[in-house]
Amino acid sequence: MTIKEQLLLHLKDNMDAWISGESLSQQLGVSRAAIWKQARNLKEEGYIIQSSPKKGYHLCEISDLLLPGEIRERLGNNLFGGQQIYYYKELETTNLKAKELASQGVPEGTLIIAEKQTKGRGRRGRSWFSPAGYGIYASMVLRPSIAPTEISSITLMAAVSAAEALIALTPLNVRIKWPNDILLNDKKIAGILTEISSDMDIVDYLIIGIGMNINTPKDLFPPEIKETATSILIETNRPFQRVEILSEFLKIYEHYYINFKKSGIEPIMGRWKELANIVGKRIEVDVMGQKYRGDVVEIENGILILKDHGRTHRIFSGDVTIL
């Protein structure tokens, strides 16, 4: 552990108290000047630390950045916490970076996180608004031994995990819109973009990209999405710690993913159906401009099965409106 990490640990252990520079320097076995330097580095990373020549140091608030150390501390040494976390102040898109790394062979569980995306991508060729510090923009590299037909399941699991993380940590009653939008009062709060590299019969790697609007103020959204997008801040009137929400999402996703590898998607599908509440509803789906209407009879491996006057449509992807 570096001196900076050790200092942070000590400050966190004494979150509500002052610790003198002298005592820190003794405990860490370095000079007081070294403590001062590392405290300055932590402040630069966004930790709110008071310092006083008489009283020493006092950690008031942890950093609001999505720092790998903070995420790892919450996850432990498991699937995501145990692999490298690539952290960037700015990227074009975390999904593209994840693809580059995956094609170079990084292991399953590798995470790519950015504070800001300049070319954030959404589903169906749309862009994803990704201003610095307000949202979560992250991609995970997965290498499940599955057939390409099972990919939708992995994405549905991400939608369930995102919804459950928001339900656990906020007072919000979010729901899923097929296939994997997370909505609050019919406005989009989070979305998932899955990209794959696959042979005919086996997946090489999968990139699951998640975008969540956490502390985005309403005025910041561009006019074209102002009425259809929302954030946790807008809905609750208070800011939330992004690192807590991302870590919770990753913990839940990991739990489902391990379960999926053992027992398949069925146990998770029940939860997805509860959160999506779409089976039995009459809907219209727009698939690249072509519109299909019908009653949803089932979701099978992530595919929407629609019945209309005796005809069955199997829909892989599209924009749903409940009629």
The region of 206-214, 264-272, 275-283, 300-308 touching ligand BTN under the rule CB under 6 A is 206-214
Q: Are strands 56-61 and 282-287 parallel, antiparallel or unpaired?
A: unpaired
193 binds ligand BTN (CB under 6 A): yes
Q: Which residues pair with 197 in a beta bridge?
A: 205
In the bound state with ligand BTN, the residue whose beta carbon lies nearer, of 120 and 294, is 120
139 binds ligand BTN (CB under 6 A): yes
CB of 123 to ligand BTN, least distance (A): 4
Residues in contact with 235: Cβ distance below 8 Å, sequence separation at least 6, in sequence order: 170, 172, 184, 185, 189
CB atoms within 10 A of CB 288: 8
In the bound state with ligand BTN, the residue whose beta carbon lies nearer, of 173 and 228, is 228
CB of 125 to ligand BTN, least distance (A): 9
CB of 155 to ligand BTN, least distance (A): 10
In the bound state with ligand BTN, the residue whose beta carbon lies nearer, of 128 and 256, is 128
Alpha-carbon distance of 209 to 8, in angstroms, equals 30
192 binds ligand BTN (CB under 6 A): yes
CB of 18 to ligand BTN, least distance (A): 40
Handedness of CA 39, 43, 46, 51 (dihedral sign): positive
Q: 120, 179, 294, 318: which one contacts ligand BTN (CB under 6 A)? A: 120
In the sheet that holds 290-300, the strands lie side by side as 311-315, 303-308, 290-300, 282-287, 319-322
CB of 320 to ligand BTN, least distance (A): 13
191 binds ligand BTN (CB under 6 A): yes
128 binds ligand BTN (CB under 6 A): yes
Contact 252, 161 (CB under 8 A): yes
In the bound state with ligand BTN, the residue whose beta carbon lies nearer, of 193 and 243, is 193
Q: Rg of the chain's alpha carbons, rounded to an integer?
A: 22
Angstrom CA distances, 138 to 111, 115, 317, stand at 7, 9, 22
Q: 38, 63, 83, 95: which one contacts ligand BTN (CB under 6 A)? A: 95
> Binding-site residue total for ligand BTN (CB under 6 A)?
20
94 binds ligand BTN (CB under 6 A): yes
CB of 314 to ligand BTN, least distance (A): 22
Alpha-carbon distance of 311 to 313, in angstroms, equals 7
Residues 11-50 that bind ligand BTN (CB under 6 A): none
CB atoms within 10 A of CB 251: 20
175 binds ligand BTN (CB under 6 A): no
Burial of 90 (0-12, 13-18, 19+ CB in 10 A): exposed
209 binds ligand BTN (CB under 6 A): yes
Q: Are strands 56-61 and 303-308 parallel, antiparallel or unpaired?
A: unpaired
137 binds ligand BTN (CB under 6 A): yes
Query: Can you give the binding site for ligand BTN, defined by CB under 6 A?
Result: 93-95, 117, 120-123, 126, 128, 137-139, 181, 191-193, 209-211
